[in-house]
Each structure stands twice: as structure tokens, then as C-alpha cells.
Amino acid sequence: MTISVGDRIPSTTITKVTENGPDQVSSDEFFKGRKVALVAVPGAFTPTCSARHLPGFVDKASEIKAKGVDEIAFTSVNDPFVMGAWGKASDAGDITMLADGNAEFAKAVGLSFDGSQFGMGERSQRYSMIVNDGVVEQLNVEAPGEFNVSSAEHMLGGL
């Protein structure tokens, strides 16, 4: 079942990319007591994700945070080393990278898909959400192949 506005983020383990390497944290702790803009993409270094999605949030990070967001995080079904390299290559220093290597988080929120026909295996759908103290306040799930409602601009309009 897909997560909805008003639902609490399910308890899972996610891997936060840090300067000191991968750091496994519980989703409960990561989202506790603050407002997080969470963005999910099918894959680091993929065309739309790298050319449009992440750069939009890099460019708009200060505006999003000025609207009361404490942290902006990107997640993908990639390992933490790929997520770290993607963040560095994209100059995304203001954005936290979260690796969901086994698609545990994507499955728990009901937003995974089978990308096997593209050689990608289980992946996350493209979406953005605002999570306030662990509860989803805003959820923007893209239709397959689309990039509109999960953009930084759309999120800013809803804050």
C-alpha cells in the first residue's frame, strides 16, 4: 500500500552518506522532530535525475529551507558510495544523500517499481514529500516517465 498524506513514515534502516562514510540510521530517528524535504529518484547519475531533478534542488535549497524545511534529502536505490559520488559530482553539499541499497525504504512506503526491463532491478519511483516529525504532510508522486510534480519548483509552490 502506498504511503499517503497524514501517514507516519514506516520504521526502516536507511544509510546516510557522511564525510566519515556510510552511517546506518533508523528512519524514525532521521525524521524525528524536524521538517524534511525528501526526494526519491530511480537512480543516481541517470539522465533526468542528474540533469534536472537534483540540480533543481541544489539551486533552490536556500529558498526551500527559508520556508521552514530543516533538511533536504535525496534517496535512491543505490549504494552509499554511489550516492556520495553523485552528491560530490553534482556539488550538492546542502543536500543529504540517503542510500536505499536494497529498496527497503522504497518498498516500505509502497513506492518501488520493477526496473528489470531496463537492467535496473527494483527501484524507487520518482517522488518528493515533506515529512514533519515523521508524518507525511505533502506527497508528490510522478507518473511513469514524467518529471513535474516532484520538482523543486513544485515543492516550493506547496510550502
pLDDT digits (tens, 9 = 90+) for 58-83: 999 999 999 999 999 999 999 999 99
Q: What is the mean pLDDT of residues 148-159?
A: 93
Contact 119, 135 (CB under 8 A): no
Which three cell numbers mark 86?
553523485
SS3 123: strand
Catalytic residue flag (residue 49): yes
pLDDT digits (tens, 9 = 90+) for 126-150: 999 999 999 999 999 999 889 889 9
Which residue type is seen at 1?
M
Assigned superfamily of 13-158: Glutaredoxin (3.40.30.10)
Which one is predicted more confidently, 83 or 117? 83
| Whole-number average pLDDT of the chain | 92
pTM of the entire structure? 0.93
Catalytic residue, chosen from 36, 49, 54, 69, is 49
pLDDT of amino acid 1: 73
